[in-house]
Structure 1
Amino acid sequence: MSPKTKRSDLLKFHRPKLRLDSAPIPTLKPESKLCLQTLARYKPAKHWQKLVFPKSRSAAVLVALFVGRTGDLYVLLSRRSSTLRTYAGDTSLPGGKWEPGDRNLEWTARREAFEEIGIPLDRQKVPLLCVLEPFLAGNQLIVTPVVVLVLDKSIRPILNESEVASIFSHPLKTLLHSEAPFPSEPETLEAKYHTFVDINWTGHSGKVRMHRFLTGREAGGTKPIFGLTASILIRVATIGYGYEPDFEVNAPDQPAQEDRIVQALRTRPLFRQAEIEEGLDPDKVPDLVPREPPSNKRGRRNFSRLRSRL
């Protein structure tokens, strides 16, 4: 990168202006349009810029949204192959680890989604909405969600059967609610749509909440949306729709995502080794000031402000 070239200039170059009124998609519901506009304006808090992650422990996932026939927003999910060594059969977002040659983590997410399920790399057909703050995964990777909008209705999935068994969609907004968006199947009448479990997190005294959402496809062998995938989608929906879920997202005294990542970079052997190998000093990882989660009041105010611009 030239010293005179700013990252913001590259972002503008790689991020075509999104015009929702003329986009080749079904008619949007007002709340869907506002959700997309909010996501397109979203930027992680500035304190995240202080952190530099080792590339060999970095990964990215693609949160690919599209507009359904009734104007609602859906997210594409995949059912991992049962032959994979890790997380076999799990419901997940397309994505994977950074590889040498990847321009950035947006490219990592796009490349992996293209390889797994055939989502085009063309940014005109699949424009970028935003890149979220990273998440710490249980397999000691720092995962960055990349949110895009699929505009081209002619796109047909091409599954890499060695990695993906099937794909399906799920309504984004329902990740903010405890009630199921679909009729209960006979096999799942006693099962709740949303549940959670609080687990111990290595290196912290507090617990971390893992959420679980039924997909409505459990009778056919599809697993619920769980763990990191659920946490990412809750975050995307919260930002986009501008209000908090009707359930408690965090466990009591749950350490902030920032604190967990900083602690992992400083103390976990895999991260320390990767940092040293890449010329980073794990003993100089900066402290971050966690941003307060948005309140319902603030979210509704932002939602009203956007509505007044339509």
Structure 2
Amino acid sequence: MAFEIPSTALSQISDQSRRCIERLQKHQAETVDLSDRPNSKLAAVLVLLYEKSGELRVLLTTRSKSLRSHPGQTALPGGKVDDTDEGVVETAYREAFEEVGLPLQSPQMHTICVLRPFISSAKLLVTPVVSLLTNLSLLDNLKRSESEVDRIFDHPLEAILDPSIVAKEPLVEKGSEDWPYDTELYHPTDIQLPWLANSTYRMHRFRSTASPIKGLTAEILIMTATIAHNRDPIYQRYAPGQFTMFNDVLRVLDSEQHSNSSSRLGTPVGIATGVV
């Protein structure tokens, strides 16, 4: 899926930011066939990038603490695919409109690319849609959905690769509810995922001006930043033995679900846990 961005839009940002956007445009996502998946298992998020003071930043939200799923956590605007949506791109923009008031259609918002899907802890297949905003005045009119969003904030994209970059920001207080860790800017832990055949997963956490950036949101931003800046993070991205290819993760997830279903019928099925 190729998207065109007018040269007039790219001329409004710095050379460094333009090169980042061009790399994202050229990115070839890992091929994943989701045609047999019901919409109830599909979702999309909007990775909205814009330039401030010569650096690319990304729009983020803190989810309402009254929500049943992931209350108070950092998120990209997004949600499940509706049957009326023509695709994940429409889903991402519709959800951003509903959650933070971004216009559904604006000549100042340009779709850059669609990344490969990610699997959430709720076993949703979440597709990131990356977009460039060239008119920052639209940010002045954002209005959060009070039932879904507590805060709207942003974060330097490159700080996802090098957390020291964010030290210049007015960060949340260390030791507070929003950063209860003993590290300054970045806090990783390796955990096991029972719902994914007990595979190992590195949980990344980044300190911000609001809630910690972690989990699925962090994973999506790591991929976005790695592509845009054409370099790896300064930290170790994966835990030893962690799956690095999405199709391998999807294969294990499907095997796990099939195993659980067959076990309930009295016919155990082995789980493939290796990378193939």
The interval holding the TM-score normalised by the smaller chain is 0.7 to 0.9
Instruction: Give the letter aligned to residue 90 of structure 1.
Output: Q
Question: 1:51, CA displacement in angstroms?
Answer: 6.8
Matched residue type, 1:196: P
- Identify if the C-alpha distance between structure 1 residues 65 and 266 changes in structure 2 by more than 3 Å, giving closer, same or farther: same
Range that drifts further, 79-88 or 230-239? 79-88
Partner of 1:209: 202
In the TM superposition, 1:1-310 aligns within 5 A as 15=3, 17-20=4-7, 22-23=8-9, 26-28=12-14, 30-45=15-30, 47-49=31-33, 52-68=36-52, 70-122=53-105, 124-155=107-138, 156-183=141-168, 187-188=173-174, 191-202=183-194, 203-215=196-208, 217=209, 222-256=210-244, 257-268=246-257
The secondary structure found in structure 2 opposite 1:230 is helix
Q: Which amino acid aligns with 2:47?
A: V
Report SS of the residue matched to 1:77.
Answer: strand
SS at match of 2:187: strand
Divergent runs of 4+, >6 A: none
Contact 2:10 2:18 survives alignment (8 Å): no
SS of alignment partner, residue 160 of structure 1: coil
In structure 2, relative to structure 1, the CA distance for the partners of 1:99 and 1:186 (3 Å cut) is closer
| Corresponding letter in the other structure for 1:246 | I
The number of equivalent residue pairs is 254
Q: Which one-letter code corresponds to 1:265 in the other structure?
A: D
Identity across aligned pairs (percent)?
Answer: 35
Question: Is the partner of 1:192 in helix, strand or coil?
Answer: coil
RMSD: 2.7
Question: Is there any run of 5+ residues in structure 1 with no aligned partner, and where?
Answer: 1-10, 273-282, 284-288, 291-310
Instruction: Assess if the C-alpha contact under 8 Å between 2:48 and 2:133 holds in 1.
Output: yes
Question: C-alpha separation between the residues in 1 aligned to 2:111 and 2:104?
Answer: 11
CA–CA separation in structure 1 for the residues paired with 2:236 and 2:85: 37
Shift, 1:123, TM fit: 5.3
Distance 1:89 1:182 in 2: 23
Structure 1 residue 52: Cα displacement: 4.1
**Equivalent position amino acid for 1:241 in 2:** H
* Alpha-carbon distance between aligned partners in 2 of 1:25 and 1:82, rounded to the nearest angstrom: 40
Look up the match of 1:276.
none
Secondary structure of 1:64's counterpart equals strand
| TM-score, scaled relative to structure 1 | 0.74
* Cα deviation 1:64-108 (Å, max 9, x = unaligned): 00111x221000001111211111111110000111101001111
TM-score (norm 2): 0.83
CA distance in 1, matches of 2:157, 2:66: 28
Partner residue in 2 for 1:299 = none
Please give the secondary structure, in 2, of the residue aligned with 1:67: strand
DSSP-derived class of the 2:136 partner = coil
CA separation of 1:25 and 1:116: change in aligned 2, threshold 3 A = farther
Distance verdict in 2 for CA 1:52–1:237, change over 3 Å: farther
Q: Which amino acid aligns with 1:23?
A: A
User: What runs of 5+ residues in structure 2 fail to find an aligned partner?
Assistant: 176-181, 262-268, 270-274
CA distance in structure 2 between the aligned counterparts of 1:178 and 1:148, rounded to whole angstroms: 23
Tell me if structure 2 keeps the 8 A contact 1:24–1:152. Answer: no
Residue identity opposite 1:211 in structure 2: H
Name the CA shift for 1:71/1:26 in 2 (closer, same or farther; >3 Å): farther
